[in-house]
Chains A and B, each alone.
Chain A
Amino acid sequence: MATAHHHRAGPLTTLAYLFLLLSQNIAALLLLPLVIASAVLSLIWIGLPFVILTGHLLRTLADSQRRTLTHLDHHRPVHSGYRPIPPTGINRRASVIITDPATWKDLLWLITGTVNILLIALPLTLIGHGTYQTLHALGLTGGPAIYGYTPTDTTERLLFLIPATLLIALGTTLATPALRLYTAFNRLLLQPSEKARLTARVAHLATSRANTIDTQAAEIRRIERDLHDGAQARLVALGMNLGMAEQIVEHDPATARAMLAEARETTRTALIELRDLVRGIHPPVLVERGLHGAVHALALTHHLPITVTVTLPGRPADPVESAAYFAIAELLTNTAKHADATHAWVHINHGDDRLVITVTDNGHGGADAAPGSGLAGIRRRIDAFDGTMNITSPTGGPTIVTLEIPCALSSPKTSPSSEKD
């Protein structure tokens, strides 16, 4: 599949990419002396800040090259696999940069910059030279004569056009293989090693697992407290009321009756609390109708008009379904609270083994997943399923939040009325 979709660029696009890659490599060459200087300086302690500076520059430059390579072939993205640089401490930061194997691979890439430039420069030079000759032969430009001779009549000019055209044709033909060779070579250098990738993956999994455990523990504490202070306390009060009513029913039926009425009211309040609690843990409509029905039900009670489109050939696993539902609920709450929108759209579908959810509103934008915000909370919860959240929310709107959660779907469940809206 990856080969079938391999990037097929036109000659102009290829040339544009070649120029972009050339400029990145020239920047790399310029960085090289700085790297050498900071390496020398770091032998004495004073060089460490320079190591940090050049380390950052190197990472930025290599990442921009990785992005260009990813652009060239979307199906084989080149990721960066750096160890995170700690925010403080000159020694710690410098030592992370120096001991990171990714830094050394970057340096290798930096040194091979000359080879890269030659590779790119070849087709560009051929085309450039051909163009120059053409222009000169046509008398469109001055400058030094070609091979010491200036054509005088039309026949000579046309004769000079032949090698010029051949040069341009050769350059254009070489551009694509040169680009392919360049891509393959640099991909090899810039792609993090399998070990680095796995190390990064383990670090991410450890963080997301810790977050999941924390979130769940907090959730269980909240449920315990709600039951303890709510329903449990009310049932005790209920028992007390009933006991007293039983004692006085013979000699004071009027008061007993009032107590019984109060007991009934207490039962109702306890039920309401339990109902809210259940809804917070796992909404019954989600159990009964799945994501499809639950999101429709959510849209019905929301005070903005919401368009819901769901294309799911089956049901995701329970935990995924529940996480997706609460994420959508929270996003719609955010929309109502902050976005000043007049309409929202929820799209849910499944493809490539991922559940893809988009929540869009026509509000004023500016949504931000700052730490501690609701959006950051959603990201953390989605993270537990190895999912991702993308927010596009320019000032002035619209806000588009896309959630992707890897999951398989179970076989479809037939539910006659869930088909209609």
Chain B
Amino acid sequence: MRVVIAEDLALLREGLIKLLQAHDFTVVAAVDNGPDLHKALTHHHPDVAVVDVRLPPTFTDEGLQAAISARAQIPGLPILVLSQHVEQLYARELLSDDTGGVGYLLKDRVFDIGQFIEAVRRVAAGGTAMDPAVISQLLARQDSQGPLGQLTPREREVLSEMAEGRSNSAIAGRLYITEKAVSKHINNIFTKLDLPPSSDDSRRVLAVLAYLNGQ
């Protein structure tokens, strides 16, 4: 799988390259600033990009902006954003084109290499990978008026797992329920959030987006 890496700290960049190469990824470009990232993304069309939010030259959210504008040019271009901190605002912006294939994780998630590689593969396959910190921040907001308020606690749990990007079987495993029960819950969630049947994958993204918007 072909991957583009954007990280301005050389130590971390080299580490990511080694880590991904060891798991059969081909690093086609490793850049350290926003403009180069945009060029690399539009030129290489990688299977997935691993991008730091804060990059030179502005040291603000250059990486995030480059990723979002590249996705505007190449719809569905899979991007996994890594950051020292997570903000719901950024999670919403990443998901706002409803096409999936995005992830937003804290940098320290690379400590658990197995899970990190799995998240990269999931994003490359068009799924989502949201950091549990984003999800737990949402759970801390107790007032969920609107459609989210109608969900049962179990359905909320399933949605929260879905938001982190887990598959039905993974959710079943984590919540100790059958896969059939998981898909039943998911269908209930789609109904309550008023998401009519279409291709199931993008409905998952829309459901997660509704969840992130918190209303």
Q: Which residues of A contact B (CB under 8 A)?
A: 264, 267-268, 271, 275, 278-279, 284-285, 287-289, 293, 296-297, 300-305, 415-417
Shortest beta-carbon distance, B92 to chain A, in Å? Answer: 8
**CB<8 Å pairs between A and B, sample of 13:** A267-B111, A278-B84, A284-B84, A285-B85, A287-B59, A297-B88, A297-B89, A300-B88, A301-B88, A301-B140, A304-B143, A417-B65, A417-B93
Q: What is the bound-complex CA distance between A302 and B142, given in angstroms? A: 10
CB nearest neighbor in A for B53: A288
CB nearest neighbor in B for A284: B85
Q: Which residues of B contact A (CB under 8 A)?
A: 53-54, 59-61, 64-65, 68-69, 84-85, 87-89, 92-93, 108, 111, 137, 140-143, 145, 214
CB nearest neighbor in B for A267: B111
A289 near B60: Cβ-Cβ < 8 Å: yes
A285 near B87: Cβ-Cβ < 8 Å: yes
A285 near B84: Cβ-Cβ < 8 Å: no
Q: What is the bound-complex CA distance between A289 and B89, given in angstroms? A: 10
CB nearest neighbor in A for B89: A297
Given the known A-B contacts A268-B111, A284-B54, A288-B61, are A300 and B84 also in contact in the complex, defined by CB atoms under 8 Å? Answer: no
Shortest beta-carbon distance, B93 to chain A, in Å? Answer: 5
Q: Which residues of B contact A297 (CB under 8 A)?
A: 87-89
Name A275's contact: one of B60, B85, B93, B111 (CB within 8 Å): B85
Q: What is the bound-complex CA distance between A415 and B84, given in angstroms? A: 21
Shortest beta-carbon distance, B151 to chain A, in Å? Answer: 17
Name B84's contact: one of A268, A275, A301, A303 (CB within 8 Å): A275
3 closest pairs, A vs B, by CB? A288-B60, A297-B89, A288-B61
CB nearest neighbor in B for A416: B65
Q: What is the bound-complex CA distance between A81 and B107, given in angstroms? A: 57
Q: Which residues of B contact A300 (CB under 8 A)?
A: 87-89, 92, 214
Q: What is the bound-complex CA distance between A287 and B60, given in angstroms? A: 6
Shortest beta-carbon distance, A304 to chain B, in Å? Answer: 7
Q: Which residues of B contact A417 (CB under 8 A)?
A: 64-65, 68, 93
Name A301's contact: one of B59, B60, B111, B141 (CB within 8 Å): B141
